[in-house]
Amino acid sequence: MPMDYFRGKANINIPIYTIIVDDVSIPISLSYNTGGIKLNEVSSIVGLGWALNIPGSIQQEIKGISDFSANTISKDINDYEKYRGITLTAKTDLENHKKAEDLEAILENAYDTKPDIFNFNLPTISGAFILQNNNAGSFILKKDELKGFTIPNEDVIIDIDKGRFHIKDSKGIEYWMGAKSSVSSYYNYKISQNSTSHAIDKIKINDKFISFAYAKKNVYKEQNSVEVANLKFSVDPAGSYYKQPPLLKYEKKPSSTTSADNLINKIEFDKGEIIFLYSDDEGMNFSDGTKYRKDLEGNQGVALRKILVKNKSGDIIKDVTLNYSYFDNTNTDKTYEDYRLKLVSIHDNLQNNDYKFTYDEEFSFPRRNSNNDDYWGYVNSLGGDKGTGIPLNYTSNTNAQIPVVDYGQLARRDREPDEKYVKIGSLKSIQYPTGARKNFYYELPSSSITNNNGKKIAYYLNKRLEIASIQSGLNDMGGRKDFVLDDSIYQKVYTINKEAEIGNISAVFNNMCDNASFPNNQLPPEGSTRCIGAISYGTNYYSGGKTQALEWPRNSTSGSIKITKNGNCVCNATVSLNYRYPVYSESPDNNKTNYSGLRITKIEDIDQNNISNVYTYLYGKYDGSNNFNPITTLNQPYNFSTITRRHIRGVPIDDYQTPEGFIEQYLTLQNSTQNSNAYGSSDVATYPYVIEKSEKGSILMEFSEGELPQLGYNRWKAGRLKKETYQNAANEVIKTVDYVEKLSPIKNSLSGYTVNPNVPYMAAFYTNFDILPIELAYDTDIQINAIESAKIENIKTITKEFLGDKVIETSVTNNYSDTNINNPINIQNTVTKISDGSSSETTYQYAHEKGNQYLIEKNMIGIPLQTSVTQKQNDNDPGKTISKSEILYPTSQADANTRTSGLALPVSVLGFDLQNPEDAAKAQTELTYDLYDNKGNILQYSVKGKPVTVIWGYNQTQPIAKIEGAAYNQVSAYVSAIIAASDADNTQGTDQSEQALIGTLDILRNNTALSTYQITTYTYNPLIGVTSITPPSGIREIYKYDSANRLESVKDVNGNLLKEYQYRYKN
C-alpha cells in the first residue's frame, strides 16, 4: 500500500535485501517518516527522518517508572477505593498505617502506578503487551519467569527472564531478544529512564538459526533546559498560618538527554551473512574524510555507510553505499546543534545506480533546543534562539484553562504551527535507479469546525457580561452590592447573540492601594492606604487585599460584592458571566483549525518517459449535498501545565484551637508538554475518512476511530479499515467493500489483573494518584483508567460491483473458535457466497481440535492440520465436498525423534474419500515425508508409495540432486562425493570448484548402479541463483549472471543461447 491513509503518511521504503529461511522472510530496508521533522529531532544512523528497518524489535514505553524497577501496589481494581480520602499517618491501627506506607511509597517512586507498554515488531507477528505476572504489592522485583499479555490478543507466548525476551509465535517460530538501546534524562539532580529498545539476537525456524550481532556503540547527549513558571491562583483565607516561601514565579534549569545505542554489525544465516559498516570503520569515512558526525556532541557519533551481503564463499551479492551531507544554517557560532545528518543518495555498487533524495530547504533549520518549536515540537519560527519556551496557550483544552492574574505578566511565546516552517527538511522527491521520480506535497493537519447547520466556524469569540461591580474612587470608603443571576441576565446574553454558549462566573478584584503589595495578614504601616475586597457567590468566597481573578462554576442564583477602603486610593470588584459565540467566515484560511506535523496532500509518480500519475488526498467526506467536510481527529492534545498543591498549617490560637489549614494552589507551566503522547509522537492527527483521487477516479476510505488514546494503551482500536468505495472518473460508484469485525474479549481475564466485569474490553488498568501530604495525614484522590484488549476477528467482507443496472455481490464470512478461554482463537471456517446464491465453505482444524499435544506444547497452534472444501448451489443444497486433506505431525517428542529427526515437521498427507469424507477409515496416504536431516530438509518423500530422494549440499542449504524412484538408503552410499564437492564450491565459489562439482554430479548420474532412476542435478551460486540444471535427459542448461548478480542468459551445454535478459535504465 503506497499510503498509510489513516495517518496521512506515504509509505516510503527503499529495499536493501530480504533474508528468506523456509517460509519466513526478513526484509531489510530504509524507511522515511513523512509526518514532519521536529526541531529537536536527532538524525538516526541513516539520516534525518530515515530509519534502518529490520523486523525484530521491542520498544518499551515507560509509563511512570520502568516495570523492571518498581511494582504496582495491586492488580485488583477493588483494592483502590480504600486509598481515597484522608489516610492518617499516625499508627492508630495496622490498616491505616499500611495505607500511609503505601502512599508514601508512591510519592517516593517505590511503587509504580502504570504498566509499561511493550510494542513488538517481528517478521511473523507484531503487536503490544504488558507484563502479566510481576510482583504486585511487593517491593521485591521479579526478574525471571515473567510473562507478557498481548494487546490486542494474539496467541503468542512471551517469556521474560532477567530483562531478556523469548517470544514464540503461533507457528512455533522462536525469537530471543535483549536490550540494545536506551534513552535517559537528567534534570534537577535526578536521572530518569524514558524508554528502552530491545532488538533481536536470534531466530529459530525449525532447527535453522539466524543470529544478529551488535558490536558497535553510539552514545550521544543532547543539552537542553527546562523552564518552569509557578502562578498562584488560590486565595489565602483569613487567619494565622505557618507561611511557606512562595514557589518561584519563574526558573530555568539545564537538563540533558542521553541516548545509548548498540548498533547492528552482522546478521548470519544458513546461506550467508549481512555486514553493516559505519563511518568509523576502515575505508568508510564521509566524503570530506571525517569519520564522526558533526551533528552529535562528543565527536564520536557514527552513521551507517555500507551494507554488504555475502554468501558462504565470500561472493558479494549486494553492496550498497549510503552517502550523506548535512542540513545546516547560517549561524556564525555553529555548534553540533546547528547540523543534522542528511541522506542524499543510496548507491548500488554492483548495478552502479542510485536512489537520490531532495528535501525542502527553502528555509534552514534553526538550532536544536532553541525556542523555535510549536506546541507539538515542530519548527514554527527561525529567530527564537533566546527568550522563553513557555507557551502563549498552555493547553489545547480551553475548558481546562485557569484564569491567573500573573499569567499576562509572564513572558510567553507564540507556539502556533506555521506550515512553511514545519515543512523544513521534509522529503520532496525520490529519483529511482530506473530514472522514474516520485514527488511529495504536504500540508498541515487541519479541521473545520461546523455548527449544527453546517456553517463553517472560523473561531469562537469569548465575552463577559457584567452582572455587578463596585468602583471605589479616591475619597469614598467602599460599599456593598448584592446581585442576582436570573433569566433576565441570560436573556441579555442571547440578545447579543442567539447562538451564545453560557460559561462560568468570573470574579475579579483589582487593588491599587498600598496593602496590595504587603504579605497577607500584615498590618500596613501607618499612613499607608488599604483596601479589602470580599466576593461571595454560592459556596464560593474570596476575601483579601491581593489583586485576584477567579472563575467559579454556576451553582447559585445570588451573591454579593463588598469593598472596605481606607485612604485615597482606587480599588474595584466585578462579577461577570462568561459566554462565547461562533464567528463565521467565508475565507478558506479562516475555516481551519491547524494542528502540527505534516500530512500528504499530493504524490506525483513520473516515469522515465516523463509520464505522470498524480494522486491527491482529501481528509474528510462529502455530505448528502456533495459538500466536502474536512474531518481530522486531534490524536495528541497538548498540555504544558500541572496543578501544584501545598498544605499550609494553621497557627494555634490557644491551647484548644488550631485552624484547620488550607490548600495553596499554583498553576505550574513548563516549556515542554506534560502530555507524554503529544511532544514525543509524530501522529499528532489521524483521519477516519480519506479520499484518494487520480485521473482514473477515486477511492473513499473509512477507518475505525477509537477514543482519544490514554497514554497510548488503547490506540490499537483505531485505524482499521471499515469501508472502501471506488468511483470512476465521472464520480459513479463502481465498487464497494465493507469490512465487518468483532472484538472478542474472552482472553482478558488472563491478564493478571482483576477488573470491573461491566467494562466490556477492560483487561487491565492504570491509576493516577493525587496525593497531598497534610499534617499527620495524606489527602488522596485516585483516577482509574481502563486498559483494553480483545482478539480482532475479521468476520465478514462484503464486495459489491456495479455494472450498469447489475450488482454482483460477494461475501466472505469467517467464523472463529472463541468460546474456550484456554484454546487459541483461530478461523474455524470461511464461507464465500456470490450473487447467484452459490457458496463455498472451507473448514479448518488445528492442533487443539486434533488433540496433538506435542504441537500445542510448541505453540504450533495456528497451523491448519485438516482442511475441507464444500460447495453449495444454493442455501437449500446440503453441499458437496470437493476436497479434504489432513497433514499429520508427530504426536510426541519420541515420535518426532523417530520420524522427523526430532523436529516438529509433517509426517504425511492424507486424502479423504470424497464420496465418504467423514469416514476416516477410507482416508488414504497421498504423500509421506519419509526422512529429514537435522536441519529440517526433506531427504525422502513418497508420492502414493513411489519414493523420491533429495540430496542436499552447499552445507545443507540447497538441493543438488533429485533421484526419482529411489529410497534414500538405496543411494546414500553414492552421494558423499557430490556433497563434499558442493561444500567445497560453497566455500571456494570459483569456476574451478563449480566445474569440479558438475563433474562429480555427472559421475553420479552415469553410475550404472543408479541407471534405473531418474536423476536431476543442480549447481548454484548461493544467494544469487541456480547456475546449472541437468535433467534425466542429460541436456544441461547453464544460467549466467551479470556483475550485479542479475540473470543475464540461459544457454545449453553447447553454448547455444536459449534466453537473454537485458536491464536498461534512463541516465
Q: What is the pLDDT of residues 976-1002, one digit of tens each?
A: 999 999 999 999 989 999 999 999 999
Alpha-carbon gap, residue 580 to 496, rounded angstroms? 10
Alpha-carbon gap, residue 113 to 789, rounded angstroms? 19
CATH number at residue 495: 2.60.120
Alpha-carbon gap, residue 970 to 938, rounded angstroms? 16
Read off the pLDDT of residues 585-611 as tens digits, 9 standing for 90 and up.
554 444 567 899 999 999 999 988 888
- Among 545, 563, 584, identify where a domain stops: 584
In sequence order, what DSSP letters do the residues of 325-367 get, joined into one string? EEE----SS--GGG-EEEEEEEEETTTTEEEEEEE--SSPPPP
Q: What length is written for the chain? A: 1067
**DSSP assignment letter at 38:** B
- Among 539, 567, 584, identify where a domain stops: 584
Q: Would you say residue 45 has pLDDT above 90?
A: yes
Residue closest to 268 by CA, chosen among 26, 3, 519, 584:
26
Alpha-carbon gap, residue 795 to 785, rounded angstroms? 29
**Grid cell 486509598 in the structure block, residue:** 83
Task: Find the Cα–Cα–Cα–Cα dihedral 546, 548, 553, 558, rounded to 10°.
Answer: 60
Q: Is 236 inside a domain boundary?
A: no
**Grid cell 561444500 in the structure block, residue:** 983
User: What are the residues facing 10 on neighbouring strands?
Assistant: 3
Q: Is 529 inside a domain boundary?
A: yes
Read off the pLDDT of residues 520-544 as tens digits, 9 standing for 90 and up.
545 667 778 888 889 988 777 888 8
Structural domains counted in the chain: 2
Look up residue 355 and give its three cell numbers. Answer: 536512489
Alpha-carbon gap, residue 688 to 621, rounded angstroms? 9
DSSP, collapsed to helix, strand or coil, labels residue 745 as coil
**Grid cell 550498497 in the structure block, residue:** 320
With cut-offs at 50, 70 and 90, classify the pLDDT of residue 143: confident
Report, in angstroms and rounded to the nearest whole number, the Rg of the chain calculated over CA atoms. 36
- According to the model, what pLDDT value does residue 512 have? 84
Read off the pLDDT of residues 815-869 as tens digits, 9 standing for 90 and up.
999 999 999 999 999 999 999 999 999 999 999 999 999 999 999 999 999 999 9
- Among 584, 613, 644, identify where a domain stops: 584
Q: Would you say residue 648 has pLDDT above 70?
A: yes
Query: Between residues 694 and 1062, which one has the greater pLDDT?
Result: 694
Read off the pLDDT of residues 563-576 as tens digits, 9 standing for 90 and up.
998 888 888 999 99
Q: Is 854 inside a domain boundary?
A: no
- According to the model, what pLDDT value does residue 940 have? 98
Q: Is 645 inside a domain boundary?
A: no
Q: Is 799 inside a domain boundary?
A: no
HSE value, Cβ hemisphere, 13 Å, CA-based, for 512: 9
Read off the pLDDT of residues 92-113 as tens digits, 9 standing for 90 and up.
677 788 899 999 999 999 999 9
Look up residue 352 and give its three cell numbers. Answer: 552502479
Domain span including residue 1065: 937-1067
Q: Is 818 inside a domain boundary?
A: no
Q: Is 922 inside a domain boundary?
A: no
Q: Is 738 inside a domain boundary?
A: no
Alpha-carbon gap, residue 158 to 42, rounded angstroms? 32
* Cβ–Cβ under 8 Å, residues 766 and 115: yes
CA diameter of the chain? 130
User: What are the residues facing 985 on neighbouring strands?
Assistant: none
Burial class (CB in 10 A: 0-12, 13-18, 19+), 335: middle
Read off the pLDDT of residues 853-866 as tens digits, 9 standing for 90 and up.
999 999 999 999 99
Alpha-carbon gap, residue 79 to 665, rounded angstroms? 29
CA distances 531 to 234, 265, 544, 549, Å, are 19, 74, 8, 16
User: What are the residues facing 427 on neighbouring strands?
Assistant: 359
Residue closest to 605 by CA, chosen among 614, 594, 596:
614
Query: Between residues 225 and 699, which one has the greater pLDDT?
Result: 699
pTM: 0.84
Alpha-carbon gap, residue 101 to 553, rounded angstroms? 36
With cut-offs at 50, 70 and 90, classify the pLDDT of residue 401: low
Please count the other Cβ atoms lying within 10 Å of the Cβ belonging to residue 729.
11
- According to the model, what pLDDT value does residue 675 have? 43
Alpha-carbon gap, residue 738 to 34, rounded angstroms? 29
Read off the pLDDT of residues 167-181 as tens digits, 9 standing for 90 and up.
999 999 999 999 998
